[in-house]
Amino acid sequence: MARKDTYPEQPVRPSDAPGERDVEYWLGIYKSIDDVPDRYLLGNYEAEFTDEDTWSEYLSTRDDLAESTKKNSWYPCEDRFKKFMQEEVGRHHALPHPDNIEAYLQYIKNGGYSIKVTERSLNTLYYQHLSPLKTFFGWLRHHADYPHIYNPVLLAAHTDGITRETWYWQTDYKPEYTNRT
């Protein structure tokens, strides 16, 4: 039997539907932290994450990243985010509230953890902080070993603030973004 060369057409998307550039496109069923049932909030799992280094476990799976990328972006983000979550929030780095993501990115934007920089650019903020965090929490959400059913970075980007500003800076900065698969 010959293989069929045609495929069913995709349904027409409403004109007001979010596109790939919009954070709403990636959110899933929870559009805000208030939509998440209490039993699924990440703060409930603190005891299960004691002494667990989820970030290092995640990075060990990222063979696709060049060592220079890990050294210049991912490792510094790991160190700074862990320190921020431990010292400023008092919570494990894998269990942030979206407000913690927002506070961390604002702190980094304002030169936090730097003795030379007084303010970081959106470029630095995106590539060295938001992108690694977004990917890390995406990885946690897609692994059954972890209780993550939402990405706190996406929820933070769905509200007003530096996370949203950085998200949309990145999508506006890359004009060919819609052509990527």
The pLDDT score that the predictor gives to residue 64 is: 83
The pLDDT score that the predictor gives to residue 26 is: 86
Number of domains the chain contains: 1
Does any domain span residue 64?
no
The pLDDT score that the predictor gives to residue 12 is: 67
The pLDDT score that the predictor gives to residue 37 is: 95
* Tokens describing residue 137: 């929490």
From CA 59, how far away is CA 26, in angstroms rounded?
22
Name the phi and psi angles at 137, rounded to 5: -75, -30
The pLDDT score that the predictor gives to residue 27 is: 87
Does any domain span residue 7?
no
From CA 16, how far away is CA 31, in angstroms rounded?
16
Does any domain span residue 163?
yes
The pLDDT score that the predictor gives to residue 10 is: 64
From CA 83, how far away is CA 148, in angstroms rounded?
21
Does any domain span residue 148?
yes
Does any domain span residue 9?
no
From the number of C-beta atoms within 10 Å of its C-beta (0-12, 13-18, 19+), residue 45 rates as: middle
Q: Where on the phi/psi map is residue 81: left (φ > 0), alpha (ψ -120 to 50), or beta?
A: alpha
The pLDDT score that the predictor gives to residue 28 is: 85
Does any domain span residue 50?
no
The residue ranges of the chain whose pLDDT is under 70 are 1-19, 173-181
The pLDDT score that the predictor gives to residue 180 is: 45
pTM: 0.82
Q: Which of 142, 144, 145, 125 is nearest to 133 (CA)?
A: 125
Does any domain span residue 26?
no
Q: Which domain holds residue 97?
A: 80-175
The pLDDT score that the predictor gives to residue 179 is: 46
Does any domain span residue 133?
yes
Radius of gyration of the chain (CA): 18
Alpha helices in the chain (DSSP H): 23-26, 54-60, 67-69, 75-84, 98-109, 122-125, 131-141, 152-157, 162-173
DSSP class of residue 39 equals G
